[in-house]
């Protein structure tokens, strides 16, 4: 990891340093020839007020991110839900408890509702149900508490989004032992009536009482749901948020889907995967205050500095380069980052061939060109060619049978282009081509 830090006297200075470093990282990745998407991110354990990741789009990437046609981009942990407007529920009928035997899952509940309690206007769907998912939180102080997340039944809880939302607590699935301590939580039939402000009151310290209850932002006042009645084989139909139940707050823990609205109104989101290559943070004064980092301002007054943190994952960038620059035979290094610019290969057994290859390699090195010279004597030409394609240096000079006619072969690894060159011109031709390629890379 390549790390950098900035130290400024005020937030304006931090913002300026952050933008400079951000722009520098964009230039670095452009210079590497890597497509990069800058996405909004969660600061996580690092803390701070702003955080962005530099992702290289790749189907094998470990990160999932979203982007819209209008330019919005964020990793899924940082996406905020577009909150629907509240609904006028004054004309809605009262909620009803109805028998729903054997409906512990959303799928079976929807099927049962359509068969035994059908709607007049349309069929019930999973989006009409309010699913209440129990998770356990391991807190930094060593305590363990339960949390119930309420969300539309057609959505799943995204563990990464949940982790980001409850950090520094660590979430996991609630165990059987966890549920034994809360007999009011009837698996498959959990409803709001026993949760959060709807359930048993907590003491003055916030201990005891009902399990904390947080809702997906889509569950707005006036929306009506099918949800658990906290009794086996029973659900409540038409339970209205704001009229019949409340929650302790909202939580961004539901999965983000392709086709969801972008938070900034810039269109529908599409999902993609990417390799994280860099991350920048506006840390603020969190660490500076802990370390007592102060400077004197223009008035001689001690001020706590404000910090930024910036990192590039060097090995990740190399992995991204390899992933985006290869073919079936091996790597195809971009000229600006290749371990060597030119691969010189001597084939056959004649000493004259090896002597000529050595002269070409030396001539290129005298021009400041980095050369990989394959002078192995007892290795076949086929093996050498296979190794050259696997290693993937931008240019290959082959000295072999053509030497008898005064020529060598020049190959471009990326394009596959081949050309013969007089031996005397080989160094100049390779050097000129390399110079042009490096100049083009510098202009990015």
CA distance 302 to 296: 4
In the block, tokens 């006619």 appear at 405
Asked if 220 contacts 83 with a C-beta cutoff of 8 angstroms, the reply is: yes
Q: How confident is the model at residue 207 (pLDDT cuts 50, 70, 90)?
A: low
Q: Does domain 342-442 have CATH number 3.40.50.800?
A: yes
Residue 374 has pLDDT above 80, yes or no: yes
- Write phi, then psi, for 70 (nearest 5 degrees): -90, 5
The larger pLDDT score, comparing residue 47 to residue 134, is at 134
For residue range 213-234, list pLDDT tens digits in order. Answer: 999 999 999 999 999 999 999 9
Structure confidence at residue 34 (pLDDT): 95
For residue range 38-86, list pLDDT tens digits in order. Answer: 999 987 777 778 999 999 999 999 999 999 999 999 999 999 999 999 9
- Supply the angle between the helices 426-442 and 351-366 in degrees, to the nearest 10: 40
CA distance 388 to 396: 8
For residue range 299-320, list pLDDT tens digits in order. Answer: 899 999 999 999 999 999 999 9
Return residue ranges of the chain for CATH 3.90.960.10.
Answer: 96-250
Q: What is the pTM of this model?
A: 0.82
* Closest C-alpha among 307, 395, 405 to residue 356: 405
Structure confidence at residue 43 (pLDDT): 79
Q: Percentage of the chain with pLDDT > 70?
A: 98
Structure confidence at residue 37 (pLDDT): 96
The strand pair at 371-374 and 63-67 is best described as unpaired
Cα dihedral across residues 60, 64, 69, 74: positive or negative: negative
Structure confidence at residue 204 (pLDDT): 64
CA distance 272 to 280: 21
Structure confidence at residue 239 (pLDDT): 98
Asked if 225 contacts 192 with a C-beta cutoff of 8 angstroms, the reply is: no
For residue range 113-130, list pLDDT tens digits in order. Answer: 999 999 999 999 999 999
- Write phi, then psi, for 167 (nearest 5 degrees): -55, 140
Return residue ranges of the chain for CATH 3.40.50.800.
Answer: 342-442
First and final CA of the chain: distance in angstroms? 24
CA distance 6 to 22: 12
Q: Does domain 96-250 have CATH number 3.40.50.920?
A: no
Structure confidence at residue 1 (pLDDT): 80
For residue range 137-157, list pLDDT tens digits in order. Answer: 999 999 999 999 999 999 999
Return residue ranges of the chain for CATH 3.30.930.10.
Answer: 2-76+260-323
* Closest C-alpha among 84, 80, 127, 77 to residue 218: 84
Mean pLDDT score of the chain, rounded to an integer? 94
CATH of domain 2-76+260-323: 3.30.930.10
* Closest C-alpha among 311, 297, 310, 300 to residue 8: 297
Distance (Å) of CA 252 to CA 9, 83, 125, 197: 34, 11, 22, 19
């Amino acid at each position: 990891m390549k790390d950098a830090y900035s130290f400024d006297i005020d937030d304006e200075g931090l913002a300026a340093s952050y933008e400079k470093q951000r722009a520098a990282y964009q230039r670095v990745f452009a210079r590497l020839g890597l497509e990069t998407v800058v996405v909004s991110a969660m600061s996580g354990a690092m803390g701070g007020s702003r955080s962005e990741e530099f992702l290289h789009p790749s189907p094998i990437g470990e990160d999932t991110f979203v982007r819209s046609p209008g330019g919005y981009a964020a990793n899924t942990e940082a996406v905020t839900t577009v909150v629907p407007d509240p609904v006028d529920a004054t004309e809605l009928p009262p909620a009803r408890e109805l028998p729903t035997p054997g409906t512990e899952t959303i799928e079976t509940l929807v099927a049962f509702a359509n068969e035994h309690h059908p709607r007049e206007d349309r069929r019930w769907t999973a989006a009409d149900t309010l699913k209440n998912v129990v998770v356990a939180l391991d807190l930094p102080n060593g305590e363990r508490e339960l949390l119930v997340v309420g969300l539309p039944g057609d959505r799943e809880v995204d563990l990464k989004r949940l982790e980001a939302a409850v950090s520094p607590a660590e979430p996991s699935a609630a165990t059987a032992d966890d549920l034994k301590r809360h007999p009011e939580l009837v698996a498959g039939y959990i409803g709001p009536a026993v949760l959060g402000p709807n359930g048993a009151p907590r003491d003055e310290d916030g201990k005891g009482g009902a399990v904390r209850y947080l809702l997906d932002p889509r569950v707005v006042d006036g929306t009506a749901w099918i949800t658990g009645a906290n009794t086996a084989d029973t659900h409540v139909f038409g339970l209205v948020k704001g009229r019949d139940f409340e929650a302790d707050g909202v939580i961004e823990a539901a999965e983000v889907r392709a086709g969801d609205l972008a938070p900034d109104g810039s269109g529908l989101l599409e999902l993609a995967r990417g390799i994280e290559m860099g991350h920048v943070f506006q840390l603020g004064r969190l660490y500076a205050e802990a370390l007592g980092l102060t400077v004197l301002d223009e008035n001689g007054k001690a001020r706590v500095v404000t910090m930024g943190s910036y990192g590039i994952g060097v090995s990740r960038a190399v992995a991204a380069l390899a992933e985006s620059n290869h073919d079936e035979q091996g790597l195809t290094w971009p000229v600006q980052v290749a371990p060597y610019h030119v691969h010189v290969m001597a084939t056959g057994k004649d000493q004259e061939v090896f002597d000529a290859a050595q002269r070409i390699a030396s001539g290129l090195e005298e021009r400041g060109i980095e050369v990989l010279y394959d002078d192995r004597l007892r290795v076949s030409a086929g093996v050498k060619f296979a190794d050259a394609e696997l290693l993937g240096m931008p240019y290959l000079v082959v000295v072999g049978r053509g030497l008898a006619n005064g020529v060598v072969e020049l190959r471009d690894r990326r394009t596959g282009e081949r050309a013969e060159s007089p031996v005397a011109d080989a160094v100049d031709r390779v050097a000129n081509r390399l110079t042009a390629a490096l100049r083009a890379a510098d202009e990015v």
